[in-house]
Amino acid sequence: MAPDRPPGRPRSSVDATVFAATLRTVDELGYTHATVDRIAAAAGVAKTTIYRRWPSKGALMTACLVDAFGPLPLAGGSRAEIMSAAVRWGAAKISEPGVGAAFAGVFTDAINDPALREILSTQLQDPYRLVLQETLDEPEQRVLFLIDVVIGTLLHRMGMTGEPMIDADVDALVEMVVRALR
């Protein structure tokens, strides 16, 4: 059951470096101006190395977001408490430097790119949706709607102001969603 390393030169372990460079570049220049060339330069890596690991800029961004978000923390409690924690966790993560801009960018790239939409769905969105759906014991349609509300609100705000939401708005969003749950 050894890992059975494949033949040839092993890949250098620069994934984390590239992810960090990606978020940093997006934070500094915005999604559009964060070109793959610049990201590669910021990571000290050749552009070809990036394209060897991820098939497109959107795929790179998606992988970067998956890495940045990590697993959804589920600390038990009532359904309202779970939901509340999830919303606050999402708001906090999306406010980290570069994350919100990367999310908004890859999301809208995906609108006109079916292949990227597939990647985004399966790698980033479906996992969280399924966990929430099971944990809250809500029908799929309902969870999808609530995710629309939470992510949509956060992204719309980020896109407009470029700043994270103020605490009062996060509180209001939590209250709205928790209320809608009953």
Partner DNA sequence: GCAGTTTCGCTACTTCGAGTATCGAAACCG
Partner DNA sequence: CGGTTTCGATACTCGAAGTAGCGAAACTGC
**By CB under 8 A, is residue 16 in contact with a second copy?**
no
Residues 7-26 that bind DNA (CB under 7 A): 7-12, 14
CA distance 170 to 153: 10
Q: Which stretch binds a second copy (CB under 8 A): 35-43, 60-68, 70-78, 156-164?
A: 156-164
Q: Does 148 bind a second copy (CB under 8 A)?
A: yes
Residue closer to DNA by CB (options 33, 142) is 33
CB distance 102 to 31 below 8 Å = yes
- Any contact of residue 176 with a second copy (CB under 8 A)? yes
Report the b/e string of 37-71 with b at 16+ CB within 10 A: ebbbebbebeeeebeeebebbbbbbbbbbeebbee
Q: How far is the CB of 121 from a second copy (least distance, A)?
A: 8
Give Cα separations from 139 to 68, 73, 79, 146 (angstroms): 28, 21, 14, 11
Using CB under 8 A as the binding rule, the residues of this chain from 100 to 119 that contact a second copy are 101, 104-105, 107-108, 110-113
Q: Are 113 and 55 in contact (CB under 8 A)?
A: no
Could you say which of 20, 24, 30, 49 contacts DNA (CB under 7 A)? 49
Binding site for DNA (CB under 7 A): 5-12, 14, 32-37, 44-49, 51-53, 55-58
